[in-house]
Structure 1
Amino acid sequence: MSISFNHTIVAAKDAEASARFFIELAEAHPVESWGPFTNVQLDDGVMLQFAEPPIDFPPQHDSFLVDDAHFERIHVRIQDRGIEHWADPQCTRPGETNTEHGGRGIYLLDPARQFIEFITRPYR
């Protein structure tokens, strides 16, 4: 068997809100949850397990590769919901998308204040 990414645990102040964010905005799929986790699954089978830690935690950055049509749907939802977003990780280009690496990209914060990036082309 070759190696592939299976799942990650994401610290969330409100696990349900974070899971709903990915389901509604990015078209992730709700799946059975257990223990301290609220789970969603991406189309490639990777599971995001949201958990509410008892202590404060530093933010993390996660990037998701989507096709152009999926990116456009996400971008429309971001705009329709008035979600603050940027074209760059330094947050100096508010309300924009970037066209770096031969595709489009956008940065935003999820409900747990984790830095999320959606891109249409992988970095090379």
Structure 2
Amino acid sequence: MSAELNHTIVRVRDKRESAQFLAEILGLGNPEAFGPFLAVQTGNGVSLDFADDHGPVSPQHYAFLVSESDFDQIFGRIRDRRLPYWADPGKHRPDEFNTNDGGRGVYWEDPSGHVLEIITRPYGSGT
């Protein structure tokens, strides 16, 4: 048996703001309406389906595997927007990126407080 993640629902304060933010930062296509959701399609066919939440948002973590050149472009957009970023999920190393597993990684937050991450090597894949 094989199972692949197809989509996940991301509860946010403002689905338009958060979906557009993610699509722009990652350089993905525009969000598409699907029922009550705004879906952002990733390169491997998984969509993040943004939904307005009418209560407090419980922050989640979303990590994206990207190429080295995509990392440069995405990280450039993070810096251009003057977004706070960290080398670690605990926010102990601000204004840095990490070099875990011989790649690069960085964390930042979306407008609803979800922790986003880009990495160029899967965890456990390098030295």
TM-score by length of 2: 0.92
Deviation at 1:31, TM superposition (A): 4.8
| SS of structure 2 residue aligned to 1:88 | coil
The percent identity for this pair of structures is: 46
Q: Please, which runs of 5 or more residues in structure 1 have no aligned partner?
A: none
In structure 1, distance between residues paired with 2:34 and 2:76: 32
Q: Please, which runs of 5 or more residues in structure 2 have no aligned partner?
A: none
| SS of structure 2 residue aligned to 1:20 | helix
User: Paired residues, what number?
Assistant: 124
Deviations 1:93-121 (A, max 9, x none): 11110001110000000111100111000
TM-score by length of 1: 0.94
| SS of structure 1 residue aligned to 2:45 | coil
Deviation at 1:34, TM superposition (A): 2.5
Deviations 1:3-31 (A, max 9, x none): 21100000111101111111111012225
114-123 or 51-60, which deviates more: 51-60
Where does 1:69-108 land on structure 2 (aligned, <5 Å)?
A: 69-108=69-108
33-42 or 91-100, which deviates more: 33-42
35-44 or 105-114, which deviates more: 35-44
Where does 1:54-73 land on structure 2 (aligned, <5 Å)?
A: 54-73=54-73
Deviation at 1:53, TM superposition (A): 1.5
What is the Cα-based RMSD across aligned positions, in Å?
1.2
In structure 2, distance between residues paired with 1:35 and 1:64: 25
| SS of structure 1 residue aligned to 2:50 | strand
Q: Which residue matches 2:47?
A: 47
Opposite residue 50 of structure 1, the aligned amino acid is F
Opposite residue 51 of structure 1, the aligned amino acid is A
Opposite residue 57 of structure 1, the aligned amino acid is V
Classify 1:31/1:93 alpha carbon distance in 2 versus 1 (closer, same or farther; 3 Å).
Answer: closer
Opposite residue 11 of structure 1, the aligned amino acid is R
Classify 1:31/1:15 alpha carbon distance in 2 versus 1 (closer, same or farther; 3 Å).
Answer: closer
Where does 1:27-42 land on structure 2 (aligned, <5 Å)?
A: 27-42=27-42
Note if 1:121 corresponds to 2:121.
yes
Deviation at 1:92, TM superposition (A): 1.1
Note if 1:24 corresponds to 2:5.
no
